[in-house]
Every structure is written in structure tokens, then in C-alpha cells.
Structure 1
Amino acid sequence: MRALYWALGLSWVAFLVFYLLGGRVESPAYVAFGFLYMWIPGLVALYFARKEGMRLPLALRPNRYWLFAWLFPVALTLLSIPLSLPFGAWKGWEALRQTLPQDAAQAIPETLWTLFPLVLILAALVAGATANLLAALGEELLWRGYLWEGLKERGLWPASLEIGFWWGLWHAPLVLAGHNYPREPYLGVPMMILFTLALTPSLLWVRERGGSVVAPALLHGTLNAIGGFPLLVVERTHDLLIGVVGLPGLFLLSLFNLWLRGRV
């Protein structure tokens, strides 16, 4: 557990320094800081793994579970859209125009706008398998790497509860500053913990079946890339009720965990 405490302590201190220097979630510098924040657990995991003679599996041998890891976030995100509609009005695909600079939006022919949602999904898949994977790997080295190796003997579900809780708590400074739940920062902390608890079983399952920490990093990175999509087309009436990190996502992940429970 020393690695966990070091990861939490160093991460939270790093965020405090970032915040005291004027950094905010909505600032451009947050992207660079977010990458650093995600890699603090990874560096801690690599240090303690080397110190203890533990091998963290980083093999690049994709199998069908890697494909699942890549596509699962897309299905989760798209299914969360209709489940969000009881809580927020449908804004329509036209709302996607607002995500682009005006000049760029005007340069796209009207006939191509019908394909724009598909373009966004493909872009998220590319980002999830490249830059976002590299960023997410920092987290996964600890949560589904080092910690899983130490808790594996307890079984998937007990380990998921422990890892999921600490993983969610690790996000607390970011959430309190406005990450994911900008209108509900205080309720956002327990909501984030519920979300990480619900997501952890699928990440551990992919980690085991995929044979590498890179596999859950692929799932994690792709989810980070596409998870905001519902917020572009559904009115954000309440942070806790819309999208993947809201109630719809929790419901869908709970259904998947029930299915997984019958197989593991």
C-alpha cells in the first residue's frame, strides 16, 4: 500500500501547486498538467515494481480483447445518449457545429455534416489508440498494473472494490476544481467514486484477458476521448444525470458487470 499512498500524496501535492500557481481546469495549461497528473501513479508504480522485483506486463500482443477494449467505450457512450434524454433535451446534430471554429464549420459542405458524428467517433478511436492511450497508461500502470498484481489473489470483485475506490478518490482534487462535474463539484466526488467502482471490473477483465496493462489503457484512453460526446448533443441540465460519467453510464456499467459476474 505504500505505493498507493505515495501516488495519492504526490498527485494531490502536484495539483495543489498547479492550483496555487493559477492553474484551473478550464485553462489551456490543464491539458499538459493532466498528462503529468496521470503519469504520477505510473512513475510510482514503476519505481515500486522495480524495487520489489515485480514485472508489470506491457506486452504489445493484441488479441480480441484489445478490440473489445477499443470499441466498448464507443458503445457505452452512444447508449448513454438515449438514456440521458429523460433528463436533458435533445440538441440535435446541429449542435456539433458549435464545437468547431466558425470558419472551419463554414468550410464543410452541408452534405458532409450528416457524416460529422461518424468523423468525431473515428477521431476518438484514433486518439484513444495513440495519445490518449499513452496518457492513460500512466494511471493503468498503478491501478490495473501494480495494485492488481498485489490484490489478484483476492479475486476480481473484491479487488475491484478496493482499486475502484482509491482510483475514484485519487480524482478528488480534479473533481473539486470542476473536472467532469463543474456544476456539482462536491457531489461529483462520490459520483466519481461510484463511476470508477463500476468501471474497474471491465478494466481488470480486459487486463487479464488482454495479457497486458496496455489493454485497459486502450479502453481508458478511448473512453476519455469519446466520453464527452453526449454532452454535445444533449442539454446538460444536471452533471450527475447526463452522459457516461453520470447516471446513464452507471446504469450501463452495472448491466455489464451483471453479465460479467456470470462469466468470471
Structure 2
Amino acid sequence: MGQKKTPSLGRVLLWTYGFSFGLFGLYLLLGGRLDSPGFALFALLYMWVPGLVALRFASQEGLRLPLALRPNRYWLFAWLFPVGLTLLSVPLSLPFGRWQGLKGLQEAIPNLQPLPEPLLWSLLLLGLLAGATVNLLAALGEELMWRGYLWEKLKAQGFWPASLEIGLYWGFWHAPLILMGYNYPQHPLLGAGMMTLFSILLTPALLYVREKGGSILGAALLHGTLNAVAGLSVLAVERTNDLLVGVLGLPGLFLLAAFNLYLRRRGF
């Protein structure tokens, strides 16, 4: 039997960006916007394009992507780490925005009846539930590529160089959505750069969980839970500047940089 041909990384990325950006262009041509009823479905499909590309090339190469369902303490870390980021980012955001508690939730859902303040934080429990179920499955589409296939291809470079390269590719993949106004509606252009920085700084935590936890599912759990709870950090604090408030703003970058320094000092 002949050896299976290994495609270049450039070819894999061309497929990933080509299909992802093509899907985005089709969504726009069909009149889709952030506030369109079909945006959630489009976002799910967009997240799974990299995963489908990764599965195709991994199968072609005979490359095994670890998807063992064996929860361990690193999975628990993956589940709770986004909650810690969210809670810690709130006080760090207060120099840049005023505390507004449930007011932000009621503005986001105009017809919502007045609710007690503690309910805002009880939403973290719903976020944990979503992060371990539907959000995990959605995030798995991305993780199959970024912390799955690409990590297998780049890990020989070492943890930190590979994290930087994967984070750059991942950040660039977000660009169409960010330029559309997603996550940083006040600063879509600067937001694309901010999202790339965020992607670079978050990648070591995701790779840490993926390696220590022994499965891409651990990284998907962290990613999915973060997607579920991070929004609370901008509901609780007035979003005067979306680059300076919340998990995706300056506080989140600071906290992730601190965690990466901790990993580095531990010799990871």
C-alpha cells in the first residue's frame, strides 16, 4: 500500500477560509444580518465548517483526532474556568463602565418583567448547563480544527509557538463576523484586531485542557461554556466601550495573559 499524501497546511486553511467566508458571503447575499431570525442557524453552520474540513483531511491522512468521552479534573477546570473569567472581568470593567446589574438584561430583552438582582448571577448556572450540552456541540465544530487537526500538525513546534500560530489563524477566521458588528458593535474594525488578540491569548488555555484532559471534547467544553457565560460581563456593566469592558475586552485580555504567565511559570 502507498503512503497517504499529507496536504500542506496552506491548502487546509484555504479550504477552511474558503468555505467559511463563502458561507458568510451567501448569508449576506440572502439578506442575512446580525438581527435576522436565521442568524443562530448561520452561526452554527459557520462554526462547523472548520470541523468538517478537519474531519475530511484527518480521514484522508489517517490522522486520529482524540474524542474520548472520559471526564476528569481537567474537564471540571474547563467547565469552571469561563465562570472565573466572567466574574473577575466584572470588577476590572468598572473603571470603564458603570455597574447596571439587571438593567442590562432588561435592555437586552425589552419585554422582560422586573426581576430580583440575584437572578443575573443565577444565569451562570444556565450558562454552565448550556456549556456542557448544546454549546459544547456547537463549539466542537471549531475545536476539531483549531485544537484538533491544527494542533496535531503544529505541536512539534512546541506549545507556545503552536499556540500563537493557531490563535492567529483562529482569530482571522472570526474577522467577517466581527466586521459585521458581532461582539464589538461599536468598533468593528478595531474589534477584528481585538478578537485576534483574544483568540491568541485564549488558545493556550484550550490547548492545556485538550492535552491534559486527553480529548478535544474538553476544549469544546471550555469554549462552549465561555460562549454561554461571557455575555453576562457586559450585561452587568454598562458597555460604554466594547473594547474596554467584559471578557472580550481589555479585562479579559489581562486575565488570560495572567493565566498564560502562570502556565509558563509552571513549565508548560
TM-score, structure 1 normalization? 0.94
1:11 is matched with which residue? 20
- Equivalent residues, number: 258
Structure 1 unmatched ranges of 5 or more? none
1:242 aligned to which of 224, 245, 253: 245
Give the deviation of 1:9 after TM superposition. 1.1
Give the deviation of 1:93 after TM superposition. 3.6
1:24 aligned to which of 10, 19, 33: 33
State the distance in 2 between where 1:169 and 1:247 align: 19
State the distance in 1 between where 2:212 and 2:81 align: 15
1:76 is matched with which residue? 85
Q: Does 1:179 align with 2:188?
A: no
Give the deviation of 1:233 after TM superposition. 1.5
State the distance in 1 between where 2:169 and 2:104 align: 36
State the distance in 1 between where 2:34 and 2:60 align: 34
Q: Secondary structure at the match of 1:171?
A: helix
Distance 1:83 1:159, change over 3 A: same
State the distance in 1 between where 2:77 and 2:239 align: 29
Q: Which amino acid aligns with 1:190?
A: G
Q: Which amino acid aligns with 1:213?
A: I
Q: Does 1:197 align with 2:200?
A: yes
1:44 is matched with which residue? 53
1:105 is matched with which residue? 113
1:208 aligned to which of 206, 211, 216: 211
1:220-248 alpha-carbon deviations (Å, 9 max, x no partner): 00000011101112111111101111100
Structure 2 unmatched ranges of 5 or more? 1-8
2:94 is matched with which residue? 85
State the distance in 1 between where 2:58 and 2:209 align: 21
Contact 2:86 2:229 in 1 (8 A): yes
Q: Which amino acid aligns with 2:127?
A: A
1:262 aligned to which of 259, 262, 265: 265
Q: Which amino acid aligns with 1:56?
A: L
1:196-239 alpha-carbon deviations (Å, 9 max, x no partner): 00000000010000100000000000000011101112111111
2:123 aligned to which of 84, 102, 120: 120
Q: Does 1:57 align with 2:66?
A: yes
2:220 is matched with which residue? 217
Give the deviation of 1:119 after TM superposition. 2.1
Give the deviation of 1:96 after TM superposition. 3.4
2:146 aligned to which of 138, 143, 147: 143
**What's the % identity of the aligned pairs?**
63
Q: Which amino acid aligns with 1:32?
A: L
Give the deviation of 1:249 after TM superposition. 0.3
Contact 2:104 2:237 in 1 (8 A): no
State the distance in 1 between where 2:120 and 2:238 align: 17
Q: Which amino acid aligns with 2:113?
A: A
Distance 1:95 1:147, change over 3 A: closer
Give the deviation of 1:105 after TM superposition. 2.3
1:188 is matched with which residue? 191
Identify which range, 230-239 or 139-148, moves more after superposition: 230-239
Runs of at least 4 residues off by over 6 Å: none
1:69-118 alpha-carbon deviations (Å, 9 max, x no partner): 0000000011001111111111134543444563x525x6xxxx243123
Q: Which amino acid aligns with 1:253?
A: L
Contact 2:23 2:46 in 1 (8 A): yes
Distance 1:124 1:182, change over 3 A: same
Identify which range, 116-125 or 52-61, moves more after superposition: 116-125
Q: Secondary structure at the match of 2:65?
A: coil
TM-score, structure 2 normalization? 0.93
Q: Which amino acid aligns with 1:70?
A: W
